[in-house]
């Protein structure tokens, strides 16, 4: 199995790459023989999972002519190869699985394959952490902000001593810095973090305070950046986490909340409603600005305009109980108030002393307040088990995931890498599989923050037990990655098949929090029941299927992804 030697850049993926990239062919007809053999390979890969290849297998079967046994073809190829060795053009694989099989051990080709491959979505993606440092520095320069040299951070103007006006660093705009900004970019991200005297964990979390000032007033530009980046990668959907209104909710909690009062009377709900209304207005403004930045109403619209975006309200879990409580109420209120806000999450370092101390209490908060918002409890996802031995005492390991699921009612869990420490490991895995509790997998983040990577990452354990997973970035700006990078990392680290990658892509829509019934019974097998069961994405919709998709926002987007897969797979014909 290919493994990563380091993180943060595609440059590091080369460990498993074939040292031989040169391909030799003996003319056109031998090329055809190769193509047949490649197809056979692809079929063997997919045949392990016979029903998971509805589109690709039928294409393969249709286009392959078995007029000679494979052994004869291979022998012919070897004989001619021994006689005539001439450099030839690269063979173009003629199905997506074949192209994937051919690219799998070549990180350059694999990057391109996965970049173009449709990806359902990114369900674990913090908006402020998704912005690249160069953008923050550029906006800060335009907004008259400063670089604080001792703090290695962006600070508000006017600039004091030991601070540099960023406008002077970027006199001609964000693309023309006067000085090297490399140290600033490093300070605002985990780039080159191994050269610093800080752990990946501390560097990662320190960046958020360093760039926060630059995010103020720039939400629209931030949304434009992440959607544009997603659109370029053929990503259909984003569920972005942000904490709009949470500071105000925490202040309200600190000033007025009474956690000893009866449920429903612990908080001034009318005040929370006012905060929720202000957040909805902020989301309106942010989306309008993003559409303007991406020129969505013009002929020159960014690909980002095609990306559907929904939001998760993120509660900061390292504050006092009253503050966390009212944030949680606000999160539920926001889901109730605005269909664009589809769920909630608890964030900030799970290993923080307050987060550890209050974890059980927080799960109770989510459950109790959820009884007042039963409809909104469908959108609960929680960072849980983002912990490692050594980072915290062993007694803190092995129970956060089960508490999130069993007490708080989480439908998805983020990271979930400490599961090996769970006393009842196998019953928990079976329960997650049975209840279809999806795990949001963040491979680069886990490596940098926790030092957890193959073979210590539980990805294969979840796969073995049929626990659904989707790949996500966590913080693509801080980590200097993108979602394609995470697909590549997963593909190479775990030696995944094309069918598995397609399933991971589908899962991001199957388990998102959009309303409506999901399309698939099984994303891996491609099994669909109901009115769209015998429908191909390349055909005209039956009236029953069209009605089903009309009634389900989730399934409609899933169908869009299937159409993209059909087009992607047809591109290899």
Shortest Å distance, C-beta 314 to Zn ion? 9
Report, in angstroms and rounded to the nearest whole number, the Rg of the chain calculated over CA atoms: 25
Cα dist from 488 to 51, 147, 157, 342, 425, whole Å:
24, 35, 41, 29, 29
Encoding tokens for residue 87?
């450099």
Taking the least distance from each CB to Zn ion, the nearer of 474 and 560 is 474
Burial code of 385-404, b = ≥16 C-beta within 10 A, e = fewer?
A: bbbbbebbeeebbbbbbbbb
Taking the least distance from each CB to Zn ion, the nearer of 403 and 474 is 474
User: In this structure, what are the phi and psi dihedrals at residue 132, rounded to the nearest 5 degrees?
Assistant: -75, 145
For β-strands 119-126 and 235-242, DSSP reports them as parallel
Taking the least distance from each CB to Zn ion, the nearer of 311 and 559 is 311
DSSP 387: -
For the stretch 521-529, contacts whose Cβ atoms lie closer than 8 Å and that sit 24 or more positions apart, written own/partner, are 522/51, 523/468, 524/49, 524/52, 524/499, 524/500, 525/49, 525/51, 525/52, 526/51, 526/52, 526/53, 526/54, 526/55, 527/51
Shortest Å distance, C-beta 130 to Zn ion? 11
Taking the least distance from each CB to Zn ion, the nearer of 319 and 520 is 319
Cα dist from 158 to 145, 178, 505, whole Å:
7, 20, 47
Interatomic CA distance for residues 341 and 349, integer angstroms: 23
Interatomic CA distance for residues 165 and 149, integer angstroms: 11
Shortest Å distance, C-beta 125 to Zn ion? 8
Cα dist from 67 to 35, 70, 81, whole Å:
14, 9, 21
Taking the least distance from each CB to Zn ion, the nearer of 240 and 275 is 240
Taking the least distance from each CB to Zn ion, the nearer of 310 and 564 is 310
Shortest Å distance, C-beta 444 to Zn ion? 12
Interatomic CA distance for residues 442 and 477, integer angstroms: 14
Taking the least distance from each CB to Zn ion, the nearer of 221 and 474 is 474
Taking the least distance from each CB to Zn ion, the nearer of 248 and 474 is 474
Taking the least distance from each CB to Zn ion, the nearer of 219 and 412 is 412
Give the residue from 541, 513, 550, 305 showing the smallest Cα distance to 411. Answer: 513
Shortest Å distance, C-beta 445 to Zn ion? 7
Per-position DSSP letters for 152-217, written without gaps between them: TEEEPSSP-TTEEEHHHHSTT-TT--SS--HHHHHHTSSTTGGGSSS-HHHHHHHHHHHHHHHHTT
Among all residues, whose Cβ is closest to Zn ion? 474
Residues that bind Zn ion (CB under 5 A): 474
Shortest Å distance, C-beta 398 to Zn ion? 20
E strand or H helix that includes residue 471: strand 469-471
Interatomic CA distance for residues 365 and 68, integer angstroms: 67
Taking the least distance from each CB to Zn ion, the nearer of 46 and 486 is 486
Q: Is 283 in a helix, a strand, or coil?
A: helix
Shortest Å distance, C-beta 414 to Zn ion? 5
Shortest Å distance, C-beta 350 to Zn ion? 9
For the chain, helix (H) and strand (E) counts, in that order, are: 24, 13
Shortest Å distance, C-beta 446 to Zn ion? 10
Taking the least distance from each CB to Zn ion, the nearer of 55 and 342 is 342
Burial code of 86-118, b = ≥16 C-beta within 10 A, e = fewer?
A: eebeebebbbbbbbbbbbbbbbebbbebbbebb
Shortest Å distance, C-beta 413 to Zn ion? 11
Shortest Å distance, C-beta 124 to Zn ion? 6
Taking the least distance from each CB to Zn ion, the nearer of 213 and 474 is 474
Shortest Å distance, C-beta 348 to Zn ion? 9
């Amino acid at each position: 199995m290919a493994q990563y030697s380091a993180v943060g850049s595609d440059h590091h993926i080369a460990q498993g790459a074939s040292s031989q990239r040169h391909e030799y062919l003996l003319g056109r007809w031998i090329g055809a023989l190769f193509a047949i053999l490649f197809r056979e390979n692809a079929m063997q890969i997919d045949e392990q999972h016979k029903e998971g290849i509805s589109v690709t297998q039928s294409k393969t079967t249709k286009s392959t002519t078995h007029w000679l046994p494979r052994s004869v073809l291979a022998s012919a190829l070897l004989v001619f190869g021994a006689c005539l060795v001439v450099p030839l053009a690269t063979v173009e694989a003629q199905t997506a699985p074949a192209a994937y099989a051919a690219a799998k051990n070549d990180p350059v080709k694999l990057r391109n394959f996965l970049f173009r491959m449709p990806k359902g979505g990114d369900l674990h993606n913090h908006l402020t952490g998704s912005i690249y440092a160069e953008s923050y520095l550029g906006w800060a320069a335009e907004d008259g902000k400063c670089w604080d040299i001792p703090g290695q951070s962006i600070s508000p103007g006017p600039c004091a001593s030991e601070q540099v006006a960023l406008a002077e660093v970027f006199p001609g705009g964000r693309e023309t810095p006067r000085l090297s900004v490399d140290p600033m970019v490093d300070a605002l991200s985990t780039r080159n973090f191994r050269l610093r005297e800080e752990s990946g964990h501390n560097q990662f979390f320190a960046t958020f305070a360093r760039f926060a000032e630059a995010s103020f007033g720039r939400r629209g530009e931030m949304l434009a950046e992440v959607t544009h980046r997603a659109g370029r990668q053929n990503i259909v959907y984003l569920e972005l986490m942000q904490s709009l209104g949470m500071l105000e909710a925490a202040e309200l909690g600190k000033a007025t909340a009474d956690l000893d009062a009866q449920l429903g009377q612990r908080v001034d709900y009318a005040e929370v409603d006012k905060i929720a209304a202000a957040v909805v207005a902020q989301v309106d403004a942010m989306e309008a600005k993003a559409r303007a930045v991406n020129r969505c109403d013009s002929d020159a619209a960014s690909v980002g305009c095609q990306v559907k975006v929904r939001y998760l309200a993120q509660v900061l879990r390292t504050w006092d109980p009253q503050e966390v409580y009212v944030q949680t109420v606000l999160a539920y209120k926001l889901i109730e108030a605005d269909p664009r806000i589809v769920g909630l999450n608890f964030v900030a370092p799970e290993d923080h002393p307050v987060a550890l101390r209050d974890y059980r209490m927080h799960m109770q908060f989510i459950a109790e307040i959820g009884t007042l918002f039963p409809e909104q409890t469908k959108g609960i996802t929680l960072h849980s088990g983002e912990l490692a031995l050594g980072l915290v005492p062993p007694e803190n390991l092995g129970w956060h995931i089960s508490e999130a699921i069993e007490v708080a009612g989480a439908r998805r869990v983020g990271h979930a890498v400490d599961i090996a420490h769970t006393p009842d490991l196998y019953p928990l895995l079976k329960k997650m599989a049975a209840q279809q509790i999806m795990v949001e997998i963040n491979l680069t983040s886990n490596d940098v923050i926790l030092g957890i990577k193959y073979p210590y990452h539980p990805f294969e354990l979840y796969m073995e037990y049929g626990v659904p997973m989707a790949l996500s970035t966590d913080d693509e700006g801080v980590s200097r990655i993108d979602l394609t990078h995470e697909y590549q990392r997963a593909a190479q680290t775990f030696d995944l098949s094309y069918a598995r990658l397609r399933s991971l892509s589908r899962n991001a829509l199957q388990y998102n929090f959009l309303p409506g019934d999901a399309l698939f019974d099984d994303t891996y097998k491609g099994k669909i029941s109901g009115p769209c069961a015998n429908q191909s994405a390349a055909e005209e919709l039956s009236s029953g299927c069209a009605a089903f998709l009309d009634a389900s926002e989730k399934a409609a987007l899933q169908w869009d992804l299937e159409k993209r897969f059909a087009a992607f797979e047809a591109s290899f014909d």
